[in-house]
């Protein structure tokens, strides 16, 4: 993890804010995963990138991403969440404190999920979801869908990337769960070749939003009923696909 922090700190020393550096790094990864060159280059241009190859800002961003993949492969843990806390990004004014890993693991073992739909309405970087699917078999993971939601967009991005890296089916929603908000959503799908990823947009997002909000309302009010939505009918473009890693749960890019 120190290698990642050193790369991000090298960018910080050039006069950029710590919040912007961390968020832009996440966005660069997200846009890379979606092959979104337009928005990727918008971020790159903000940093100038003068200097020798290997010492430009974009090079440090890339090195940090490479180091992230390496340490996740070695540890199979929520590294993004730990980085977020060490980078002093947690917002005390929103009561934003991440669940300790040991607590999340204990709760996951107590719940012992077998599959189906699993929702964390205040997901943070996704540590509870990660702990849950680490207890499940490959067959259970093939059938399970993990839903995360958070009021903080940075946390939503971290959770979405974690679901992608760990190669599980899931959707991560940005919005206040208590207010039944759904302002943005990222979707991941499990694949034998590695995780696939996209941000839901346009009609696909509107269809998901309507179905998701009604489902959450149903959960909060068991007496209500919701019709099943044919998710596949909303899929008209392929996802970005990521090659698989040796680990069953962690794909390599």
Q: At 134, which CATH number?
A: 3.40.50
What integer pLDDT is reported at residue 247 of this predicted model? 35
What integer pLDDT is reported at residue 91 of this predicted model? 55
What integer pLDDT is reported at residue 60 of this predicted model? 96
Pair (99, 31) in one structural domain: no
Residue 249 domain-assigned? no
**Summary mean pLDDT of the chain:** 84
Out of 9-23, 62-76, 92-106, least confident range: 92-106
Instruction: List residues bridging with 160 in a β-sheet.
Output: none
Check: CB of residue 39 under 8 Å from CB of residue 50: no
In DSSP notation, 3-47 reads: HHHHHHHHHHTTT--HHHHHHHHHHHHHHHHTT-HHHHHHHHHHT
Q: Mean per-residue pLDDT for 94-120?
A: 83
Residue 90 domain-assigned? no
pLDDT band for 237, please (50, 70, 90 cuts).
Answer: very low
pLDDT at 197 over 70: yes
Pair (115, 37) in one structural domain: no
Residue 89 domain-assigned? no
pLDDT at 173 over 70: yes
Which one is predicted more confidently, 2 or 241? 2
pLDDT above 70 covers a percentage of the chain that reads: 83
Pair (151, 209) in one structural domain: yes
pLDDT at 232 over 80: no
Pair (99, 159) in one structural domain: yes
Residues 231, 142: Cα–Cα separation, whole Å: 16
Pair (212, 101) in one structural domain: yes
What integer pLDDT is reported at residue 199 of this predicted model? 96
Residue 84 domain-assigned? no
Pair (173, 71) in one structural domain: no
Residue 204 domain-assigned? yes
Q: Mean per-residue pLDDT for 6-25?
A: 93
Which one is predicted more confidently, 253 or 20? 20
Structure tokens at 182: 């759904």
What integer pLDDT is reported at residue 227 of this predicted model? 40
Pair (56, 125) in one structural domain: no
Residue 252 domain-assigned? no
Pair (121, 206) in one structural domain: yes
Residue 161: burial class (beta carbons within 10 Å; 0-12, 13-18, 19+): buried
Residue 162 domain-assigned? yes
Domain with 179, as residue range(s), is: 95-241
Query: Residues 164-198, buried b or exposed e (16+ Cβ, 10 A)?
Result: bbbbbbbbbbbbebeeebbebbbbbbbbeebbbbb
Strands (E) in the chain, as ranges, are: 117-120, 145-150, 170-174, 184-189, 196-199, 240-241
Highest mean pLDDT pick, 107-116, 162-171, 190-199, 216-225: 162-171
Residues 20, 187: Cα–Cα separation, whole Å: 24
pTM, two decimals, is 0.83
Q: Mean per-residue pLDDT for 92-112?
A: 78
Pair (130, 39) in one structural domain: no
Pair (121, 220) in one structural domain: yes
Check: CB of residue 184 under 8 Å from CB of residue 197: no
Q: What is the CA radius of gyration of the chain?
A: 18
Pair (209, 115) in one structural domain: yes
Structure tokens at 6: 């050193």
> Would you tell me how many other CB atoms lie within 10 Å of the CB of residue 15?
6
Pair (229, 147) in one structural domain: yes
DSSP state of 223: T
Total count of domains within the chain: 2
Close Cβ partners of 75 (under 8 Å, ≥ 6 residues apart): none
């Amino acid at each position: 993890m120190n290698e990642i922090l050193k790369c991000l700190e090298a960018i910080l020393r050039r006069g950029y804010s710590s919040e912007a550096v961390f968020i832009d790094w996440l966005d660069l990864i997200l846009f890379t995963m979606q092959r979104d060159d337009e928005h990727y280059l918008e971020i790159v241009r903000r940093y100038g990138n003068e200097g020798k190859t290997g010492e430009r800002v974009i090079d440090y961003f890339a090195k940090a991403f490479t180091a992230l993949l390496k340490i996740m492969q070695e540890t199979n843990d929520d590294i993004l969440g730990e980085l977020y806390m060490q980078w002093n990004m947690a917002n005390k004014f929103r009561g934003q404190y991440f669940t300790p890993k040991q607590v999340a693991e204990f709760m996951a073992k107590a719940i012992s999920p077998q599959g189906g739909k699993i929702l964390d309405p205040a997901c943070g970087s996704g540590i509870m979801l990660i702990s849950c699917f680490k207890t499940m078999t490959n067959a259970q993971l093939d059938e399970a869908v993990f839903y995360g939601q958070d009021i903080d967009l940075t946390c939503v991005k971290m959770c979405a990337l974690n679901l992608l890296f760990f190669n599980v089916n899931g959707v991560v929603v940005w919005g206040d769960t208590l207010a039944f908000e759904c302002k943005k959503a990222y979707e991941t799908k499990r694949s034998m070749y590695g995780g696939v990823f996209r941000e839901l947009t346009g009609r696909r997002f509107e269809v998901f939003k309507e179905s998701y909000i009604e489902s959450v309302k149903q959960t909060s009010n068991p007496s209500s009923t919701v019709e099943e939505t044919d998710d596949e009918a909303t899929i008209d473009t392929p996802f970005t696909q990521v090659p698989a890693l040796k680990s069953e749960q962690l794909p390599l890019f």
